[in-house]
Structure 1
Amino acid sequence: MIPNWLRQRAHLTPNRVALYDDTQVISFAELHERTVKRARQFVYLGVKKGDVVAVLMKNSVHMVEVIHALHYIGAIVLLQNVRLSVEEVKWQLEHSGARFVICDELFQDERAIQWNEFAQIGERDGEWQTMYNLDDVATIMYTSGTTGKPKGVMQTYGNHWWSAIGSVLNLGLRENDCWLAAVPFFHVSGLSILMRSVIYGIGVYIVPSFDAERINELIFQGKISMMSAVSTMVQQMVRELNKPYPPTFRCMLVGGGPVPQPLLQSCVRWNIPVYQTYGMTETASQVATLSPDARHKHGSAGKPLFHMHIRIEKEGKQLNANEAGEIVVKGPSVMKGYWQNEQETNAVLKDGWLYTGDIGYMDEEGFLYVLDRRSDLIISGGENVYPAEIEAVLLQHEAVKEAGVIGVPDERWGQVPFAFVVLGDQMTTEEQLRQFCMNKLAKYKVPKRIRFVNHLPRNAANKLMRHELKKWIEEA
């Protein structure tokens, strides 16, 4: 058990700033008061400990209040990606058994309550969690599944606690630290910033959406000292620069894939302290992080955080240095499992070790190198996209007989989906198929190109050979 983080923080450092945005500054004491009000409103709705309540919102002070309020009650927060299609969101609501979904905008569902409506709801006294049981599920985040169906990652209070502790032991802590939240709170990289804030007692500067010029401005004004980003965000920020970053900015934590060498060189020139990191939703953020003083280890994700263990396995055997195999991790920030999915949980969790499905190796000094972020995974602008999910949607179209999807390089997004389609008896066009996908998938998952082919390359077991599809593009 551990004290309720925000409640304890408001008691210890009530006047320290918890949240900033472009219009307001809120102390931890004020955030606690606001959170209690929201918790009372949830009690009025009938929300109780153990209930699942979905949050479908963009980054805002209101969203922070909602997350903490649900934890005061002991409800489980389901963080939902605002970029998903209505169909995708509703599937998650059904699978999770969510009682309500709090949203910024109108959402056609009987469980939906728009923020403006929720803010007017009555209040009722409740019993708040003054202590958090570290083994209790705090949040659920759905990740795209390799079979096309998303899996709900159960993150406990203990997962978030140890993730925050591991990070601070690695990055250090200063009294005037302020972490910019430009990545969404519905991703673990964004949510972990909120967890660190109340545990460390540091401020979070919230921006509703990524704006490279505005963020650079905040850095030069000395308002933020740290931020989380993906490579595409850093690239856009570098393009806007005409002078080096000030020493008040001390950490650019970059995940979602390795940072390209030319970008790293630019960051050195502009005094941007890049910390490359490897982590996932299933580990409540970072597993390993590479500090700027280890530039000679380019391409590495660094060494494991203090609380984590990493090993490389192949066919059940632990490999030696520089031998490539599956990355397997263990530690107190590893998820409890997948929500209502024992089969998938048992497939990846064995004796406390998480089998990530990612391929990599460790060198003689213990630095991790990630070769493939899961063999089929496409990382587009920091978002994980599974080809199987897109293929499942394409196959729903009456004209499509077969579908194969791979990721192709893209200057802006890193990678984008590219689809190969075999048609049946009916005809359709690339644009019609893209529109069909647009109605069922988040925009970043919709194939940027669809090529019609006579057949797809398959092996003797009829399994799609994606590496052959990549060759088709290279040969075209």
Structure 2
Amino acid sequence: MDLARMFDYAVERSPNETAFIDGERHYSYKEIKSSVNFVAASLYRLGIKKGDRIAILLRNRMEAIVLFWATQKLGAVFSPINIMQTKEIIHYCINDLDAKMIVFEKTTEYLIERGKIDYRPLFITIDGKSDITYSELLQGNEYDFNHITVHENDLSIILYTSGTTGIPKGVPRTHLNEYSSTLAYVFHCRYEWMDTSLGVIPLHHTMGIRSLLSMFLLNGTTILLKNFDPNEACQLIQDQKVTCVYLFPSMYHEIVSLTDIKKYDFERLRVISYAGAPMTNRLIQKCQEVLNPAHFINQYGSTEIFTHTICQEIIHKPGCAGKPGIHQKIKVIEADASRSKSEEDVVPNGVIGEVIVSMDSPEAFRGYWNKPEVTKKSVKNGWYYTGDLGYKDETGDIYVIGRIDEMILHAGENIFPLEVENILLEHPKVKEAMIRGEDDERWGQIVVAYIVSKDELLTAGELDIFCKSHSMLSNFKRPRKYIFKSSLPETTSGKPSYKQVPSK
């Protein structure tokens, strides 16, 4: 199945149902199809062919949705770029793509310096002046492109990793990758026909693409939010009778931390799911209390292979990533940053190692864009090396506890930040906690805790006593230094940004 056919089938099933809500505007499926066909025809007349990359610098708005589907109709490649990154990284992505066309809006135009682009693409603006405007794309014969045949193994999108550990990597994904990932997500998260969801995760993130495609597959309704605001999100969940949401943990944290959260009605909210970062035990409990969903789901995956594992019972097993998805096979092997271990070096249940995922899955990419050497380091003998550290419990459920490059080596012992962070978050005066290693002449590395406190009177001594007396924290794992901060940095996916915290 290719996405162009998926689109047409959805429109044929429910042409008059509401597909998207963008502010005060409601768009039916047949209205979306008309706009998509006009834009696809215009792109075709402008010379866009199968395989051409279109760089997108847009927030979540209706025009971005139409452009996504228009590129799928043409067999072109939709390439959304994270507009929260630096200009240097954005220009790197544009040049790496060799994009034939760049689409932007007024709020993102400043990110483009044409002198830093190695060639001359076509520039299209949504709400300003450029080579062509979006409104001009809506003019013409909407059926000019209908002879184009799209295959399931043609590229659909290229997404770029966040780049917190270096230069971003382009991840090409086919129509089959995206369709299979969407089917798996709908099944795993117990979505239902004609559900309603929020479209707030940016389309440069695999979670944003999945939110879009899952609702379209089910003839559901997507409510677009250009920017996340917890009050606005709650109001929309209540007023639009939202049934399912897929958010970063940081977004849930903002929602349940609202002082007036009890004024909102979440009665129709049946499913809440999350990915992109771990969720603390405290936040899991708070989400269950406040939102009270029938299903609370942790989806562990990656841009490269959308689903790794799924936990549909997170409230009963906090921190659990669950069992392999319907298309997946998972192993935990001996952890080695040099990647010298193979898929045969499996560790017993309960032992921490690196999580690897079989590439024999319709959800799996086939290698990084323009980076064969990087691909060789991450894909070996048909297995994708995630770089995630985790273990299997006695039931076969996976627990992910951190990254290989975040592992702290203290006097020959391995220490994993997440387990110490969860202990610190049990202290009633701790709001946020981040653990990292600091080089030490005697011990190799020591554990350093960065703390955002709820009480300005909280001291390092009080926290040290708490850690020393905690039954679940070995003494060698306790922090040897505490640094109090007003806030902690995060990536755009809501993950703790260890790379941005100064060591001293």
Structure 1 partner of 2:355: 327
Task: Give the distance between the partners of 1:98 and 1:133, measured in 2 at CA.
Answer: 21
Structure 1 segment 90-101 matched on structure 2, within 5 A: 90-101=91-102
Instruction: Compute the displacement of 1:410 (Å).
Output: 6.3
- Contact map agreement 2:235 2:264 (CA 8 A) in 1: no
1:288 and 2:291 aligned: no
Secondary structure of the residue aligned to 2:84 is coil
Instruction: Compute the displacement of 1:360 (Å).
Output: 0.7
Task: Give the distance between the partners of 1:14 and 1:407, measured in 2 at CA.
Answer: 57
Higher relative contact order (CA 8 A, sep 6+): 1
Instruction: Compute the displacement of 1:260 (Å).
Output: 1.2
Instruction: Compute the displacement of 1:446 (Å).
Output: 11
Structure 2 partner of 1:66: 67
Structure 1 segment 144-163 matched on structure 2, within 5 A: 144=162, 148-163=166-181
Task: Give the distance between the partners of 2:39 and 2:158, measured in 1 at CA.
Answer: 20
1:318 and 2:334 aligned: no
Structure 1 partner of 2:374: 344
Structure 2 partner of 1:258: 278
Structure 1 segment 354-365 matched on structure 2, within 5 A: 354-365=384-395
- 2:135 pairs, out of 119, 129, 152, with 119
TM-score by length of 2: 0.72
Distance 1:33 1:152, change over 3 A: same
Distance 1:410 1:5, change over 3 A: farther
Instruction: Compute the displacement of 1:140 (Å).
Output: 0.5
- 1:242 pairs, out of 262, 287, 299, with 262
Instruction: Compute the displacement of 1:133 (Å).
Output: 2.0
Structure 2 partner of 1:420: none
Task: Give the distance between the partners of 1:129 and 1:173, measured in 2 at CA.
Answer: 34
Task: Give the distance between the partners of 1:407 and 1:40, measured in 2 at CA.
Answer: 57
Secondary structure of the residue aligned to 2:291 is coil
Instruction: Compute the displacement of 1:447 (Å).
Output: 7.7
Structure 1 segment 189-228 matched on structure 2, within 5 A: 189-228=207-246
Deviation per CA, 1:69-106: give whole Å up to 9, x if none.
Answer: 01111101111011122221111111111111101122
- 2:319 pairs, out of 296, 299, 312, with 299
Structure 1 segment 35-74 matched on structure 2, within 5 A: 35-74=36-75
Task: Give the distance between the partners of 1:206 and 1:410, measured in 2 at CA.
Answer: 34
Question: Amino acid of the residue matched to residue 305 of structure 2?
Answer: T
- Contact map agreement 2:192 2:218 (CA 8 A) in 1: no
More strand by share: 1
Task: Give the distance between the partners of 1:131 and 1:47, measured in 2 at CA.
Answer: 14
Structure 2 partner of 1:368: 398
Q: Give the gaps of 5 or more residues in structure 1.
A: 380-386, 388-405, 413-443, 451-468
Instruction: Compute the displacement of 1:347 (Å).
Output: 1.9
Question: Number of residues paired by the alignment?
Answer: 394
Deviation per CA, 1:340-390: give whole Å up to 9, x if none.
Answer: 1111112222343211111111112121110114524999xxxxxxx9xxx
CA RMSD of aligned residues (A): 2.8
Task: Give the distance between the partners of 2:380 and 2:31, measured in 1 at CA.
Answer: 43
- Contact map agreement 2:80 2:204 (CA 8 A) in 1: yes
Distance 1:198 1:219, change over 3 A: closer
Distance 1:294 1:193, change over 3 A: closer
Instruction: Compute the displacement of 1:10 (Å).
Output: 0.9
Question: Amino acid of the residue matched to residue 271 of structure 2?
Answer: C
- 1:108 pairs, out of 113, 116, 120, with 113
Instruction: Compute the displacement of 1:321 (Å).
Output: 1.3
Instruction: Compute the displacement of 1:336 (Å).
Output: 2.0
Identity, % of aligned positions: 25
- Contact map agreement 1:73 1:126 (CA 8 A) in 2: no
- Contact map agreement 2:288 2:315 (CA 8 A) in 1: no
